[in-house]
Amino acid sequence: MDRPLYISHYSKIENGRISVDGNAIFHTDEAQFFAFIKQAFKNQQIDYSKFYKMDNLSKLAFLAAEVLLNEEEDKEDIALVLSNKSASLDTDVKYQGSIQDAANFFPSPAVFVYTLANICGGEIGIRHGMKSEHVFFVSDEFDAVTIFNYATYLMKSLKAKKVLCGWVELFEENYKAVLYLVEERGTALHTTDTINKLVKN
Amino acid sequence: MEELKEELKGKIIEVLNLEDISVADIDDSDALFGDGLGLDSIDALELIVLLDKEYGIKLSDPKQGKSIFESVNTMADYIAKNRTK
Amino acid sequence: MFSPVYISAMNCVTPLGLDLHSNWIALLEENTGIDMHTIGYFENIYTAKIKNLPTVRSDLTYLETMLYLALEPLVKLKNLDTKTGFILSTTKGNIDFLSEGKSEEAHLNKLAVKLAHLFGFITQPIVISHACVSGLLAVSVAKRLIQMGQFDEVFVLAGDKVSEFVLSGFGAFQAMSANPCKPFDLNRDGVTLGEAAGAILVTKSDENALVEIVGEGAINDANHISGPSRTGEGLYQSISSALKEAGIAASAIDFISAHGTATPYNDEMEAIAFSRLGMHEIPINSLKGYYGHTLGASGLLELIISILSLQNNKLLPTKGFNLKGTSKDVNIVTQAMDIPLTYILKTASGFGGSNCAAILKKMNG
């Protein structure tokens, strides 16, 4: 069963700009990520107060998925294959701050829970009811070969109906998210080369 | 006591990232968990940290939290009786 | 549709021993790696720490030494080429660097690349960081990438160490017991943290194969970021997916090596999931009473021990368990049992709603 797979839609968040399928849907001159992502969230009129409890990585991943999946109907069987360079390091550093000083030792459970790379994927899953295959890879740069093979496996083995893949990287004020949806019909052919260009450009 | 309750509401909003809620929105007797403010299990754990950090109260048994965190009233009562800061 | 995939070598480094054999002997004697320790600000707490970890090379951190010792015997006589993969599973890696203000050094990929160079892997290492299912999920990933032809064989290495970072976090979650953990027990009240490293070779060749990986699944609960689904939905679906792939009924499973962390919620959720699948009479154990919860290593370490069980047709009792403590009855192994074993199921669950299940079949003869 080697039917070709396609990329149907993709979203990007970088430099204060959010786009879907190459079209800008939100833009701000706000330099700080925290302020930018909050503005974007409000602009998209998303009714989900849990957003404010998320760490920066999860907010980034959440919004990138939100603008991509808001038209999707059947989301339960969409698998999630995410990756980045820094894992949860941004939040790890913040959490370390709450335990560094013996005299001021107040570890925060709400921060600690985000000191795992896959939690941002968990937040996407909860929002969209994705009771599906999830995985989180960490690599210096987007590993197109591995992600391509992994997503193809999930489709070929019928372990997923669609696969949401991509890169969600954030460390301090450096951030970039590119998510794309792999399925049986779409505009661009799903190849290692295509996804590599999509994520790295 | 009123001052403590107002202060507490502000701290709860801040510590739990309740962005779209203001101090005026929280009634002293509102249920914090379940149907009221809708806080969850992680929020409960954060409130335990709040008691320690801001008021110097270490809960010997975290299960006590259920009754202490029922509402701003019950929290303020407990803090007033047990604070060391 | 896909070719079979096997596991043909394994090793582990734990508080019970610095190699596979010494671990098995210690387990047969029902020794535990859990003991009282002082870790930084944490005085006299129960954790499972490796005693007397030797210094192998001066340029390796504590964790890197554990990982090196686990993998070295598997790699040393092998030819590593472009079809040889290397997957590292860890939740926090070299997290201690953060307390020194060296966040750059704490990058997980940096750890993987350093190890890859040390051993001479020529393919780019793959790192999986997916909470406490990482170690088992890494095995699934290895199998899947072999089945896609990316590799012919993959060395999977998993490890995590006990750290103040994690101790404080589990403490803040009120999820760490003041006593050695009691998996599935009525009076269980939290985890005991541990450290370990495990390594296996996953391969498409059946030469010297110990087991075949006949089915696996890793379905998320999509319910809550720290608490498991109350109905065990993600675990239920993961196991179902694995059974479907293996082409066997739930009743064909001879033994379940559960995650059994000894938190009130996890063990309850697992019992519900197993019960929903009609697996409540299949012997189940948890190894957390011997090793503590070794986070990113746990799925792989416990899989390795389960393979030893499979090879020896011997089930180990669940250390720490005394009284039935879940709303659904499950068949907890309380004494060492000698029974014929063919199919075993290993499960894992973790923060972020993650779950993973893998079914192994003993090779004939």
Active site residue C293: yes
| pLDDT of the residue at B85 | 87
* B63: nearest CA partner in chain C: C174
Q: Does residue A94 sit within a domain?
A: no
C254 and C288 share a domain? yes
Q: What is the pLDDT of residue B37?
A: 82
Structure confidence at residue C32 (pLDDT): 98
CA closest to A100 among chain C residues: C99
Q: What are phi and psi of A160, to 5 degrees?
A: -155, 155
- Decide if C356 is catalytic: no
Domain annotation covers residue A21 = yes
Q: Considering C12, C130, C181, C259, which one is annotated as catalytic? A: C259
| Domain boundary pick from C203, C229, C261 | C203
pTM flag (> 0.90): yes
pLDDT in tens, A74-91: 999 999 999 999 999 999
- Which positions ≥6 away from C111 have C-beta within 8 Å? C63, C64, C88, C90, C93, C94, C127
State whether C231 and C271 are in the same domain.
Answer: yes
Q: Within this chain, do residues C333 and C275 fall inside the same structural domain, yes or no?
A: yes
Neighbours of B73 (CB within 10 A): 15
First to last CA, chain B: 15
Look at residue A191 in the predicted model and tell me its pLDDT: 98
Residue C172 lies in a domain: yes
Q: What whole-number distance in Å separates Cα of residue B76 and Cα of residue B74? A: 6
- Number of structural domains in chain C: 2
pLDDT of B38 > 90? The answer is no
Instruction: Give a yes or no: residue C74 inside a domain.
Output: yes
Catalytic residue among C12, C132, C181, C356: C132
Q: Domain range spanning residue A62?
A: 6-87+117-200
Residue C133 within a domain: yes
* Residue A97 falls inside a structural domain: no
pLDDT at A91: 98
Do C182 and C227 share a domain, yes or no? no
- Check CB contact of B85 with chain A, cutoff 8 Å: no
B46 shares contact with chain A (CB less than 8 Å): yes
Q: How far is CA A107 from CA A70, C22, C44, C91, in A?
A: 36, 37, 19, 18
If pLDDT is split at 50, 70 and 90, which confidence band does B63 have? confident
Q: Does C1 map to a domain?
A: no
Domain that holds residue C316: 211-362
Residue A112 lies in a domain: no
Closest CA to C74 of C153, C160, C161, C159: C153
Q: Is C132 a catalytic residue?
A: yes
Q: In CATH, what number is assigned to the domain containing residue C239?
A: 3.40.47.10
- Asked if pLDDT for residue A1 goes beyond 70, the answer is no
Examine the domain organization and report whether C44 and C101 are in the same domain: yes
Domain containing A35 — which CATH number? 3.40.47.10
CA distance C138 to C160: 14
Interchain contact, C172 vs B45, CB within 8 Å: yes
Topology adopted by domain B2-82: 1.10.1200
Pair C349, C331 in one domain? yes
CB contacts, 8 Å: A136 with chain C: 128-130
Q: Which of C147, C171, C203 is the last residue of a domain?
A: C203
Cβ contacts (< 8 Å) between A107 and chain B: which residues?
49
ipTM: 0.97
- Same domain for C195 and C233, yes or no, is no
Please list the ranges in chain C whose pLDDT falls under 70. 365
